[in-house]
Amino acid sequence: MKIAIAQLNFHIGNFEGNLQKMLQAVEEAKAKQADLICFSELSTCGYPPRDFLEFDDFIELAEQTIAKLADAAQGIAIVAGSPSRNPVVEGKDLYNSAYFMADGEVKQVQHKALLPTYDIFDEYRYFEPANEFQVVEYKGKRIALTVCEDIWNIGNENPLYTICPLDEMQAQNPDFILNLSASPFSYKQAETRTKIVQTNVKRYGIPMFYVNHAGAQTEIIFDGGSLVASPSGDIFDELPYFKEDVRVYELDAVTKGGQNKLQARNKMQLIHDGLVTGIRDYFGKLGFKKAILGLSGGIDSAVTAVLACRALGPENVHALLLPSQFSSDHSVDDARQLAENLGMTYDIIAIKNIYDSFMGELGPHFEGLPFNIAEENIQARSRGVLLMAYSNKFGNILLNTSNKSEMAVGYGTLYGDMCGGLSVIGDVYKTEVFELARYMNKDGEVVPENTITKPPSAELRPNQKDSDSLPDYDILDEILFHYIEKREGPQDIIEMGYDEKLVRRILRLVNINEFKRHQTAPVLRISPKAFGMGRRMPIVGKYLA
C-alpha cells in the first residue's frame, strides 16, 4: 500500500479554498499511485474554528466539503478531519472527527476521544468525546484512525484522561496508525511530539503516519513537521517546518524501517521562521499587504523590522523614525542603517514640537509638579498617534514591537508604544530578542552591531536606561520564565536563590499589569505559555498584589 500525507496551510472558514487545496493534493497523490491520502485535523474548516462551530451554516458548509471530497475519492481513499453532528440529544452537538472516504462515499467516521481543554485549547467547549473505537479495513489493511490528542495518553498514564484510544483498538490488530493533528508551534513542540510518536509506535509495534497543519491562524502558528515513524521508533521521514508538502510512502518500507530522517532543530531558527510565518499568514489571510512600524534604533523594533521584511518583502514595509529631544543621534543613525540594510523605506518625523504643544496646554495644570511618567507617556502616545495616522491614511497595518519581558511587567504605554494590529515579538523575552538579532546576522550584518551592544533604553528622559526601572534582563527573564511558563509561585522562586524582595516586586508587576495585556494586539505564540488566549488571568485579583 502507498500512503500519502498532505501537510497543508488551511484557512479558517475558507471552505472552498481549503477544498481546492485538498483536491489538488489528491491529484498529486494519485499521480504517484498512492492508495490513500491523509489530511490533518479539521482540515475542511481550519483549526481552531472556535465559536464559528456554533453556527449551523458553518457546519453545513463543512458537511458539503466532506461530500465533495467523498465524490473525489475514486481510485484513492481520502482521510480528512471535519466537525460532525452528534445525532443524540445528550452531550455536545458536535464531534471532532476523522472521515474515511473511498469509492465515492464516506465509509467510516472516527471521532476524537481526548479533547484538550488547557492552554490555548478549548475543545470540550464544543465537542463530545468518542466512546467507540473501530479500525478501518481497506485493501487488506486495518487502520487505526486517531485525531491529534488521541495519541497523547500512552498506556492511560496522562492524568487528564481516563481512556487510551489506541489501547482500545489494539485488540483489533491494526496494521498502522493514521493521526490527524493540529499541533501548534512552540520552540519545544517538535521535540515533544517526536517523543510521543516514537513511544506510540514502540508500544504498539506498528507504523504511524502523523499529519500536521502548516501556517498560522492569527496568533497560533503551525510548524508542520509531520512525521512518519517505523515500529522500531525510528523517524522514517519528517516533513519540512512551516511549509506545505505532499509525500508518498510505501507502507512495507516504513514498516521495515532502517532510516532516520529527523531534521536539525535550532531554537532561534525555529522562532525566526515561526514569526515570519505568523506575520505572512496574518497579512495574507486577512487580505493585508503593507506594514508600518516605529523604528527607534533599539533592538526590539530592529528585530521586528527584519521579520516583517522577510515575511512581506521590504517593499511592503515602511518605518517612521520619531525622535524626541531625548533621542540620541546614534539611535537615529542605527535606525537609518537598519532600514538601508533591509532596503525598506522610512520617514523621519520629530515629535518635539508635538510634545511641546501638549505641554503648553497641560503646563498650567501640571505647574509645580516634577517631570515623571506622565511626560514620558505623552511622548509615547504622540508616536502612537503618528503611526496610527499613517496606518489609517495609507492602509498599512501597524506592527507592535513590545517584547515579552516588557509586556510582563507593564513596561510600555497603552495607546502609545503598545499600539498595533499584531504583536510580533510579544512572546519573545528580551534576552531572546538579542539572541534572535545575532541569529539574523549569521550571514552578515543586518541588525547594526551598535543596536545589539548598546544598553537598552526607552529614551523618554535624559540618559534613561531600562536598568533604571528594571533588574538586568538576564535575571528578570529567568524569574518571569519560572512564574509564567512554569507556573511556580513566589516561595518556589525565592528558594531557588533569587532575592525575595525582587521576586515579589516582579511578580506583583506581572499581576497588576494584566489590564494592559487585555488591551493589546494578538501575540504571535512561539513559547509553551504565551500571553493571550493560552494564559487567562483576572484583571482584578489579590494574589501577590
| Active site positions, annotated | 41, 112, 148
Contact 217, 12 (CB under 8 A): yes
Asked if 432 and 405 count as a contact pair (C-beta separation under 8 A), the reply is no
CA separation (Å) from 290 to 269, 293, 302, 394? 24, 10, 17, 9
| Site of grid cell 498599512 | 396
Residue 83: phi and psi, rounded to 5, are -70, 145
- Rounded distance between C-alpha atoms, residue 288 and residue 511, angstroms: 34
Residues 461-496 as b or e (16 or more Cβ within 10 Å = b): beebebeeebbebeebbbbbbbbbbeeeebeebbee
Q: How far is CA 413 from CA 146, 184, 384, 433, 525, in A?
A: 46, 30, 9, 20, 22
CA–CA separation, 136 and 157 (whole Å) = 26
Angle at Cα 270 formed by Cα 529 and Cα 177, nearest 5°? 80
Q: Name, in order, each residue with C-beta under 8 angstroms of 370's C-beta and a sequence gap of 6 or more.
A: none
Element housing 50 (H / E)? none
